[in-house]
Amino acid sequence: MLSVTPAPDRHYPRTTVFGVDIDVTTSASAVERILSWCRLGWRQLVVTPNLDHVVALRSNPKLAAAYERAGLVLADGMPLVWASRLGGPPLPERVTGADLIQPLCRAAAQEGLSVFFLGSRMPVLEEAARRLSDMAPGLKVAGLYEPPHGADFDAAEDDRIVELIRAARPDILFLALGMPKQEIWAARNMDRLETHAVLCIGAGLDYIAGKVSRAPRILQRTGLEWVWRLLSEPARLGPRYGRDIAWVPRLFLEQLLHVWRRRP
């Protein structure tokens, strides 16, 4: 079973879902907690597991090690929320990395905190930064960087990115490199980054910039956002979702056994 290294302010209850310890919290509380790290000068990583992450964690030790470094683990996928209701503290809602971007940027603008966007393509970064600045007047965008695209960065590129971020000194770093690259990169470089919160947000900036259409709210609330994404990118997402869905019966059976074993 995976465990999460406690953040210095660990006070939220946690629940174990599909073998992953997840913070029982809301989006608003998560934003406030991230802001508290910035105020106190702490350095923490935020990860947002969904079903694809859960499956990948079982075969990717580097991703599992990254989760060990996380100070906040938020349920991005509705199957995790549903499974939490089988027993133990239930998750109150789905909290995605993409959904944290706007409220966190609004709060950052109000508190004079700066942000840095790393990943995706430069036109996406620029458009996302423009839209977020319009939405959150006064937002301090410390930097944008489009790194080389590929499976991973070499040591020289790692050093280049770290020095760029250290020079910009952002309070909050948004990583849009995709899973598992973003989580592994963050864990590998957390000790060198002079930033208080690192958020793994996947395609979040693509949504903000309007490059990718987000599923309607009704599909998000009912756990069918994956259908929308599959129809949008069947060739890329079909094999991944097929693999993940095949794991669902086993994962829910394991969750039921976990709940039964914890019964007094």
pLDDT (0 to 100) of residue 4: 38
CA-to-CA dists, residue 39 to 78, 110, 135, 263, angstroms:
31, 13, 23, 40
User: Mean per-residue pLDDT for 75-85?
Assistant: 95
Q: How many residues in the chain?
A: 264
Q: Are 175 and 198 in contact (CB under 8 A)?
A: yes
Spatial distance between the Cα atoms of 23 and 180, rounded to a whole number of angstroms: 20
Give ∠ CA 77-221-204 in degrees, rounded to 5.
Answer: 55
Q: Which of 34-43, 227-236, 237-246 has the lowest mean pLDDT?
A: 227-236
Q: Tokens for 127, please give them.
A: 């458009």
pLDDT (0 to 100) of residue 9: 55
pLDDT (0 to 100) of residue 5: 42
Helices 234-261, 225-232: inter-axial angle, 10-degree rounding? 160
Task: Give domain limits for the chain.
Answer: 14-217
Spatial distance between the Cα atoms of 110 and 83, rounded to a whole number of angstroms: 36
pLDDT (0 to 100) of residue 88: 81
Nearest to 172 by CA among 68, 120, 100: 100
Q: Are 31 and 107 in contact (CB under 8 A)?
A: yes
pTM greater than 0.85: yes
Name residues whose C-beta falls within 8 Å of residue 251's C-beta, 6 or more positions apart in sequence. 18, 51, 54, 79, 83
Spatial distance between the Cα atoms of 1 and 21, rounded to a whole number of angstroms: 8
Q: pLDDT by residue (tens digit) across 8-61?
A: 555 678 999 999 999 999 999 999 999 999 999 999 999 999 999 999 999 999
What's the distance, CA 127 to chain centroid?
21
Nearest to 114 by CA among 42, 181, 168: 168
Determine whether 80 is exposed, middle or buried from the number of CB atoms within 10 Å of its CB (0-12, 13-18, 19+): buried
pLDDT (0 to 100) of residue 225: 86
Q: pLDDT by residue (tens digit) across 2-12?
A: 433 445 555 67
Q: pLDDT by residue (tens digit) across 207-230?
A: 999 998 887 888 888 888 888 888
**What does pLDDT average to over the chain?**
91
Q: Are 223 and 82 in contact (CB under 8 A)?
A: yes
